[in-house]
Homo-oligomer: A and B are copies of this chain.
């Protein structure tokens, strides 16, 4: 296998997670040690940083600050949601990327993101292969939604799941504190895949949590839901409900659009959101119960103080594996995880899968893991998620508050 010497560039894309910077750290640490990699660069705001020639010299960072990245949420380099054109139709962006790669002698490109980012990564990989510029391209998975195809699970999911399960357990205790019936509705991210919403079931399973859980994989029937809640209010004086932001009716219309459709939404929401408040109001009208809608919102994806150590370690591993595989000659692949049980104990192995296989597929919760009518998820789902939420993060704390990484971000010359 041919030795390829040159610079590498690492970029972060899509919605951030609690551990995407752990993958950055894993990749950066491996790249800084690699004899093949002459220089480690980071792109500002994903692929846009390459297009705009905004690259940082990661070799100029203090090593101690880089290490703090493992428990620093959000994307330290900045992120983007930039849709690349099909290179067959419009190769302007790709020619620009090639120009930048030549300028800095970039021979390794690592892209850390979800579905859309793997699509970008795939397109760049194909273009480079046909360009004559010898450059290896690797995808590193990341998404709280856990919907990437070809990998047992995604870095970012375990920490968000832990945040959701912990918060739902705490909320469940708080919601039941009075002796009159209250109905609490928690809205959880995941528009098409219910992995995160299903994680709320861990609270119910291991202590106290939602009575009803609705994933976006199945059809949501508003009338049946209201009857169920009413029944719970009569039987036990209240209800605690978890819903995915993406629950929809049999025609595929998001329930969150109901208010807007009826011209009732005063706020002109175009993003999803406001669903919890909408359902809380419906329940109030229907049962007369005191209700409260709670959106976990961005908190669930940036709550690094509740990150899972397993997730952090695997995120570091994903970054490191991408760099080592590329240095070993691989290109056009994404790092993926395989779950193995050794003497009954969970372990995670890495593998490489072609980017062609990953891009534009969405992995949803298997229907056989979902109980009907808000009944939650099966024991198989619980067993799948449980190993991913284990372990406390090694939090750096200063003045009682998180001490997150502070990068110098020295512009590459």
Taking a contact as CB atoms under 8 Å apart, the answer to whether B80 and A402 are in contact is no
Smallest distance from the beta carbon of A80 to chain B beta carbons, Å? 7
Is there a chain B Cβ closer than 8 Å to A48's Cβ? yes
> Which residues of the other chain, B, contact A80 by a CB distance below 8 angstroms?
178-179
Taking a contact as CB atoms under 8 Å apart, the answer to whether B402 and A170 are in contact is yes
Annotate A27-55 by CB proximity to B: 1 below 8 A, 0 otherwise. 00000000000000000110010000000
Taking a contact as CB atoms under 8 Å apart, the answer to whether B302 and A305 are in contact is no
> Which residues of the other chain, B, contact A273 by a CB distance below 8 angstroms?
292
We find that the number of chain A residues with CB closer than 8 angstroms to chain B is 73
Known: A166-B402, A305-B166, A401-B202. A295 touches B295 (CB 8 A): yes
Smallest distance from the beta carbon of A57 to chain B beta carbons, Å? 19
Taking a contact as CB atoms under 8 Å apart, the answer to whether B173 and A206 are in contact is no
Among A130-138, A188-196, A387-395, the one that faces the other chain is: A387-395
Which residues, 374 to 405 on A, are CB-close (under 8 Å) to B? 386, 389-392, 397-404
> Which residues of the other chain, B, contact A72 by a CB distance below 8 angstroms?
173
How far apart are the CA atoms of A45 and B292 in the complex, in Å?
A: 20
Taking a contact as CB atoms under 8 Å apart, the answer to whether A292 and B298 are in contact is yes
With most chain B CB atoms within 10 A of its CB, the pick from A301, A397, A401 is A401
Annotate A73-111 by CB proximity to B: 1 below 8 A, 0 otherwise. 111001111000000000000000000000000000000
Known: A274-B277, A281-B267. A402 touches B169 (CB 8 A): yes
Among A118-126, A216-224, A249-257, A258-266, the one that faces the other chain is: A258-266
Smallest distance from the beta carbon of A330 to chain B beta carbons, Å? 29
Residue from the list B74, B75, B173 in contact with A404, Cβ < 8 A: B173
> Which residues of the other chain, B, contact A400 by a CB distance below 8 angstroms?
162, 308, 386, 389-391
How far apart are the CA atoms of A135 and B386 in the complex, in Å?
A: 51
Is there a chain B Cβ closer than 8 Å to A326's Cβ? no
Residue from the list B177, B303, B397 in contact with A75, Cβ < 8 A: B177
Known: A80-B179, A303-B167. A174 touches B401 (CB 8 A): no
> Which residues of the other chain, B, contact A259 by a CB distance below 8 angstroms?
266-267
Taking a contact as CB atoms under 8 Å apart, the answer to whether A207 and B401 are in contact is yes
Known: A299-B170, A390-B400, A404-B207. A78 touches B178 (CB 8 A): yes
Taking a contact as CB atoms under 8 Å apart, the answer to whether B295 and A401 are in contact is no
With most chain B CB atoms within 10 A of its CB, the pick from A74, A273, A304 is A74
Known: A206-B399, A292-B298, A301-B174. A169 touches B404 (CB 8 A): yes
Taking a contact as CB atoms under 8 Å apart, the answer to whether B73 and A173 are in contact is yes
Taking a contact as CB atoms under 8 Å apart, the answer to whether B281 and A277 are in contact is no
Is there a chain B Cβ closer than 8 Å to A16's Cβ? yes
Known: A298-B294, A303-B170. A206 touches B389 (CB 8 A): no
- A406 (CB) vs chain B CBs: closest residue: B207
Is there a chain B Cβ closer than 8 Å to A226's Cβ? no
Taking a contact as CB atoms under 8 Å apart, the answer to whether A203 and B401 are in contact is yes
Name 14 extra pairs, CB < 8 A, besides A170-B299, A171-B298, A268-B284: A45-B179, A48-B179, A73-B173, A74-B176, A74-B177, A78-B177, A78-B178, A166-B305, A167-B299, A206-B401, A271-B292, A273-B292, A294-B295, A295-B297
18 of the cross-chain contacts (CB-CB < 8 Å) are A44-B179, A73-B173, A74-B177, A79-B178, A80-B178, A162-B400, A167-B299, A171-B299, A171-B302, A184-B298, A264-B266, A267-B278, A273-B292, A292-B298, A294-B297, A294-B298, A386-B399, A390-B400
